[in-house]
Amino acid sequence: MITVLYPGSFDPFHLGHLDVIEQSVALFGEVVVGVMHNPTKPSGMFTLDERVEMIRNSIAYMPPVKVIAFGGLAVDAAREVAAAFIVKGLRTGGDFEVEQQMAHTNHAVSGVRTVYLPCKPALVSISSRFIREIAHYGGDVSALVPPPVAAQLSRVHPRDEVF
Ligand code: PNS
């Protein structure tokens, strides 16, 4: 059994993220989901604790998955949970550009390697940003997120700064 870290901002967690976790469990055995801050993104729709709770409720059927909030670097989270690799999902070519830079940088500073997993073709268009936008205007996002996230999003109060 190999432990891997799946870091992300998950604001909110969606079916593309769930696909990466399911693939990671099948390939490696044990997955730690690290809910982290992305400095390039705005303050966020949900707090880190709210995101952790929604993800825990969404992956409850997969016992080899743990969910933690982590305030520092992804490579420090990987070391703390003794992860052999970082895993990341790739949806678009744009994702690849960004992920490649992060993977090289993370390896240069820590020696930790990143493994990319391609997202299911049916899920490549899902993005947390569009989910926030649709939910903000009261739209139905239940086709894009697990039921616990859809329930939480239906309770969201419109705020201007969420996307
Ligand atoms: O889901 P996202 O927003 O694409 O995830 C990006 C995330 C949170 C994984 C990335 O911003 C990150 O690793 N943040 C922690 C800080 C860090 O390790 N920075 C160094 C990047 S080389």
Per-residue pLDDT tens digits for 75-112: 999 999 999 999 999 998 888 999 999 999 999 999 99
Q: Which residues of the chain have pLDDT under 50?
A: 160
Ligand 1 probe mutation, 33, 73, 75, most atoms within 8 A of CB: 73
CB atoms within 10 A of CB 36: 21
Separation of CA 103 and ligand 1 centre (Å): 10
Ligand 1 probe mutation, 38, 97, 129, most atoms within 8 A of CB: 38
Separation of CA 62 and ligand 1 centre (Å): 24
Per-domain residue ranges for the chain?
2-153
Using DSSP's 3-state secondary structure scheme, residue 26 falls into helix
The architecture that CATH gives domain 2-153 is 3-Layer(aba) Sandwich (3.40)
Residue 158: what pLDDT? 53
What one-character-per-residue DSSP string does 82-116 give? T-SEEEEEE-SHHHHHHHHHHHHHHHHHH--EEEE
- Protein residue with its CA nearest to atom 4 in ligand 1: 8
Residue 38: what pLDDT? 84
**127 among known catalytic residues:** no
